[in-house]
Amino acid sequence: MAAQAAQAVLDRGRALDTVLPALLEGLGDSRDRSLARRLASGALRDWPALDWLVGALVDKPLKGRNRQLHFLLAVALHELRDGREPDHAIVHAAVAAARCLRGQRLTGLVNGVLRAFGRRRGELLASLPDTPVLRFGYPGWLIKRVESDYGDAAPGILAAGNEPPPLWLRVNRRRIARDDYRELLERAGIEADAPAGFPDALRLAERAAISALPGFEDGLVSVQDGAAQFAADYLDLRDGQRVLDACAAPGGKTAHILERRDVGLTALDIDGERLSRVGNGLERLGLDARLVAGDAARPDDWWDGKRFDRILVDAPCSATGVIRRHPDIRWLRRDEDIDRLAALQGTILDALWPLLEPGGILVYATCSLLRVENDEQARAFLERHADARGIDNTDMPGRPARPGRQILPGEHGCDGFYYFAARRLPE
């Protein structure tokens, strides 16, 4: 299943979160599901080196229907390098998987290749080309962009994108206090800390199944990275305000706004199906919002003419800041996507700015690392709008981005995020 998922990402451009659930439908054991996800994610993180190793060990490229075995070998090699299980058990499991994929005919090839790796491990690993692509497991174009934006800090940023992320929770303060929920976790045998500066967040010491979280179905808690929880702080909310959450799906920030304050919230998203999932999440949490299917870049199609006091633009972006959670992103994005996304972000900002009340605040957020989507985008926005003034959020986590704040992957244990807030001057 892990091999099939990796092939769907790399050969067919499918998102891992789309293909893996369908592949895992028949697995009842959560441990098996977690293992399949871990193996697929690991293979995608280290794909260039694994691809090279398979090529070095196989006499002829595996093509056509046999292409599946190329991915199976890559997953097995990843597991052999990971060293969590004995080599003989990994080889046995890979041979059994090959029998499932292609019958008995090529099980000997899989067995021979993996045993050859065991014998030649040191020699093969020493022969891996020392290139940034193989060293970090990213496409060359993305490495160049990160190096251009961050200079000497780039290797650390790229390495952080390969580290397994912690599981962050957001406690629904309308239902339970954070410390009280932490006690529920402790009673369930789940250890968590409450990092300073994250008023609604808990961070688990070890990952846990969502089904194991006390009161999840009753709306006591949600899963949301710590960095994503800062959107509510940047908005500086007050009861009674009219708030627009543009590009709202999957709805984590929407819910957090409503957990914080009694506001009239419009949750907007261009994808009606994803918007329905926002509604499902709000229902679980006991929250309510006006759900609108529409294009943030075309407000004339959905806006009622009443201005908003706060606007959150959680913009479509490259998602390069959350690669540690979604390792397929590095292979699904293309260099040419970045400028297209930046143009779309600018269009959305310009379209929504007139919907903001004078004195109101617009918050622009991305889960990107790339400056063209972040501080360069915000700076260009300020240059286009004389009635916009950036807000100095120097008390917020992250590093100054001039304007805005950038959180890099791993900082404070968080994903990579960018935030910029602007106030509209009186007319």
36 with 24: CB under 8 angstroms? yes
> Helix or strand or coil: residue 290?
strand
Q: Which residues pair with 293 in a beta bridge?
A: 269
Measured on CA atoms in the order 87, 88, 90, 94, is the torsion positive or negative? Answer: positive
> Helix or strand or coil: residue 237?
coil
Say which DSSP state 210 is in. G
In 10 A of CB 109, how many CB atoms?
Answer: 19
Residue among 160, 183, 182, 157 at smallest CA distance from 171: 182
- Which two three-digit tokens encode residue 95? 């041979």
Contacts of 177 (CB under 8 A, 6+ apart): 171
Residue among 225, 247, 170 at smallest CA distance from 416: 225
Residue among 297, 261, 292, 260 at smallest CA distance from 276: 292
Residue among 75, 134, 41, 71 at smallest CA distance from 326: 41
Measured CA to CA, the distance from residue 226 to residue 221 in angstroms comes to 13
In 10 A of CB 47, how many CB atoms?
Answer: 25
Contacts of 156 (CB under 8 A, 6+ apart): none
Contacts of 162 (CB under 8 A, 6+ apart): 45, 46, 136, 137, 324, 327
User: Which among 247, 317, 367, 414 is annotated as catalytic?
Assistant: 367
Measured CA to CA, the distance from residue 176 to residue 196 in angstroms comes to 19
Measured CA to CA, the distance from residue 256 to residue 172 in angstroms comes to 8
367 catalytic, yes or no?
yes
Measured CA to CA, the distance from residue 423 to residue 404 in angstroms comes to 13
Q: How many CA atoms lie within 13 A of 79 on its CB side?
A: 25
- Which two three-digit tokens encode residue 37? 């996800």
Say which DSSP state 266 is in. E
Measured on CA atoms in the order 256, 257, 262, 265, is the torsion positive or negative? Answer: negative
Measured CA to CA, the distance from residue 321 to residue 415 in angstroms comes to 6
Active site residues: 367
